[in-house]
Each structure stands twice: as C-alpha cells, then as structure tokens.
C-alpha cells in the first residue's frame, strides 16, 4: 500500500516537473525527487478572394468558439512556452489564443482518383513595367495607378517599430481562413479531396505554429490567434477576423506586425493545379506571396504606404536570406483588414497543390525572415 502511495506521489511530481520544463533547475530537482520517491533512479464581407499573380484562376479561399478552458493542448503549449524561457532566456513566448481541438475523421486514403496533374515550379523574376525590382532583387507587382517612382521611394524607407519592451508581443499571427488545407505531395490530385479541414494539425493554424515557433527561437514574443472565422459560415470571415484583431490590438497596442496567414489556390486553364516551390538548404519549401493593399474610392486605408514599407522590408529580408522563396509582392486595390494597423499584411503560403510539409517549412523560414526584419526596422521616437 505504501509503495502504491509513493508511486502516485511520484507520478504527480513527475507531471508537474514536465509542465515546469524539466530542463530548468527546479524541473530537474522535481524530476529527481519524483523518481527517487518511486525507488527508481534515472538513466516538444470584405472581399473573400485574393488575386494570384501568374495564375489563370486563384482565390485566397480561406464559428467555432473555444470554451473558457480552451483546449488542454493549448494550455500545455502556452505553459511550456513560458516556463522553458528559464533555460533559454533569449527565447520569446508564444501566446496561443482560441485554439480549436476539432478532430478530422476523414479517411483520406479513399481519394485515389487521378482527376488532374499538379505542377511544381518556381515563380522567378518577371519582366514588364508593372514590376518594380527592389534593392535585393526581389520584386513588387504594382497593380495600381500609383506611379512606380512613388513606390520605389517608399520601398527604400523603413517602417517604424515600437521600442521593444522585454517579452512584450511584437507580432500577431491570425487566420481569416484557418480551415484552408493542402493536398498530399503527388504529381496528380483527386478533385474530391477535401481542401478545408478544421483540424489544426492539418490547416493554416499548423503553418502558423511553425512560424511562431521560429519567431520564439529568435527571441520574438508572438500572439497566435487561432480562432476559426470561416466556419460554419464562410461569408463574412473578414469581418469576424477584424473583430478578433481589433480586440487584440486594443490590449497590445505596441504590436508592430500583423499577419493574416493564408494559402493560395492556383488553378490553371487546363485544370491542373499549381504548386509554387523553392529549394532552400536542400529542402523543398512552398513559395510565399505578400499582399499589400492600397486604398481607393471605395474604402479608406490611411496607413497603406506604411504597410507597403513593411512588405518591402520583409521581401528584401526573404530574398537576402532565402533567394527565390518569395513571389513578387502583390500591391493592389484591396482591403483585407489592413486598415487596422500600419504593419498589417496578408501572406499566402503556397497553394492547395503544395503539401503540408512544404508549407510548414515555409512557415519556419518566414518566422526567421520576420525576426530579421524586426531587427532592421526604424524605432519610433
């Protein structure tokens, strides 16, 4: 009986040690105590479509509420993120909000029909007067009536960032279309294969997780808003995500960068799907595209030039760090909630023809790019 009691005490102590991160001194002591007590010794809306340059047909396709307790996995993730900073004081925190624990019970093995092909290719430098070449060699596709010279001047200026208070959130990642998902890596696709999933391990939330983890490793504290805005109703998702972003910015007004993370939907005229890719360090990544919006007579966006400066800073950083990873920035008359912050952008990671692994790798690389950009931005007076 006494041995059983000791085992129960040990199990509880060991669980607490894990939650407090066993790499810390406190965790190590508790872990040793846990094993010792058991007698054992020792040996992780607004427009619902975006335009995809260089494709024949595209869409940024892409309300579950989370209970007070959120999900156990989210709580553990946040607890570990905060407590493990003791072992790596330079690590930033990941503040995860409203994560869904919805499961995907689809049997994906049944989708075996060969409906069409998937083309993997790299979108390179584009000719034409609509394209502006930045100092890094990366490009901007100007789809507005604003003269290129105006944008070229803005591209050479740095966005203003807040002076960083230690551990304060500097980046917000959210998903207007969180349920966007990817196809398995293949040369063909089944047209019946689901391209949306509520499972956060399969959709854009997973890509956001990879991005946030890279930011944290670079010492940047980030908020990951995982709330589902595109289900059960797709229409109106941008209005719902605007509410989420506004409430977070009200609480954390010093956030410098606000990214709405999507995937594209490239369908060619012959019915084949496009999967833009780039080789980085011997591994295949999905190319990404930044969308920077411009105001027109239909809507006001007073900070659109500031948003554009950030887009160019990120674009230059990406080209310097990972040449070819980014497609040209799309600068166009759109909205996508970019009036909410002078540092708001939409980023498309790959397309539905890309695989999840390719998108996850790009999420990691994007986190490194954003961290580098934060080092380069101008500090507000």
74 pLDDT above the threshold of 60: no
Q: How far apart are CA 165 and CA 171, in angstroms?
A: 13
pLDDT in tens, 213-265: 999 999 999 999 999 999 999 999 999 999 999 999 999 999 999 999 999 99
pLDDT in tens, 106-141: 999 999 999 999 999 999 999 999 999 999 999 999
Catalogue the E-assigned strands of 51-124: 94-97, 116-121
Give the helix/strand (H/E) hosting 293.
strand 288-293
**Helices 72-83 and 2-19: angle between axes, nearest 10 degrees:** 70
Share of the chain above pLDDT 90, in %: 72
pLDDT in tens, 338-371: 999 999 999 999 999 999 999 999 999 999 999 9
DSSP character at residue 183: P
pTM for the model: 0.79
Q: How far apart are CA 318 and CA 369, in angstroms?
A: 6
Q: Structure tokens of 187?
A: 């040369």
Q: How far apart are CA 41 and CA 157, in angstroms?
A: 60
Pairing, β 222-225 against β 94-97: parallel
- Answer for the pair 64, 100: CB distance below 8 angstroms, yes or no: yes
72-379 placed in CATH 3.30.565.10: no
Token look-up 């939409």 returns 346
Q: Would you state the pLDDT for residue 379?
A: 63
- Answer for the pair 362, 207: CB distance below 8 angstroms, yes or no: yes
317 pLDDT above the threshold of 70: yes
Q: How far apart are CA 99 and CA 60, in angstroms?
A: 22
- Please state whether 54 falls in left (phi above 0), alpha (psi between -120 and 50) or beta: left
- Partnered with residue 174 across adjacent β-strands are 260
62 pLDDT above the threshold of 90: no
Q: How far apart are CA 216 and CA 367, in angstroms?
A: 9
């Amino acid at each position: 009986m006494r041995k059983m009691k000791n085992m129960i005490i040990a199990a509880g102590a060991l669980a607490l040690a894990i939650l407090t991160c066993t790499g810390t001194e406190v965790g190590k002591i508790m872990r040793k105590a846990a094993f010792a007590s058991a007698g054992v010794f020792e040996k992780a809306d607004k427009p619902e479509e975006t335009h995809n340059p260089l494709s024949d047909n595209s869409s940024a396709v892409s309300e579950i509420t989370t209970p007070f307790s959120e999900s156990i996995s989210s709580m553990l993730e946040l607890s570990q993120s905060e407590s493990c900073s003791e072992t790596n004081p330079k690590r930033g925190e990941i503040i995860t909000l409203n994560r869904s624990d919805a499961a995907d019970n689809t049997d994906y093995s049944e989708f075996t029909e060969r409906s069409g092909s998937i083309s993997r290719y790299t979108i390179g430098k584009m000719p034409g007067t609509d394209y502006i070449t930045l100092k890094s060699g990366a490009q901007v596709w100007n789809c507005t009536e604003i003269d290129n010279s105006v944008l070229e001047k803005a591209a050479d200026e740095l966005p203003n960032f807040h002076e960083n208070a230690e551990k304060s959130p500097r980046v917000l990642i959210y998903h207007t279309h969180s349920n966007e998902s990817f196809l398995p890596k293949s040369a063909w696709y089944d047209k019946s294969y689901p391209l949306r999933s509520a499972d956060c391990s399969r959709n854009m939330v997973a890509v956001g997780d990879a991005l946030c983890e890279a930011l944290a490793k670079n010492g940047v504290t980030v908020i990951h808003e995982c709330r589902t805005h595109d289900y059960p109703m797709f229409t109106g998702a941008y209005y719902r995500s605007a509410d989420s972003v506004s409430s977070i910015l009200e609480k954390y007004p010093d956030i410098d960068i606000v990214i709405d993370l999507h995937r594209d939907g490239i369908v060619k005229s012959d019915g084949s799907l496009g999967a833009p890719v780039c080789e980085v360090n011997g591994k295949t990544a999905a190319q990404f595209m930044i969308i920077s919006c411009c105001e027109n007579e239909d809507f006001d966006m007073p900070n659109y030039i500031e948003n554009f400066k950030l887009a160019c800073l990120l674009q230059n950083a990406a080209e310097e760090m990972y040449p070819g990873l980014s497609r040209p920035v799309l600068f166009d008359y759109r909205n996508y909630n970019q009036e909410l912050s002078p540092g708001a952008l939409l980023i498309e990671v790959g397309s539905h023809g890309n695989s999840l692994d390719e998108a996850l790798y790009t999420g990691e690389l994007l986190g490194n790019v954003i961290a580098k950009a934060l080092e380069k931005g101008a500090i507000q007076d």
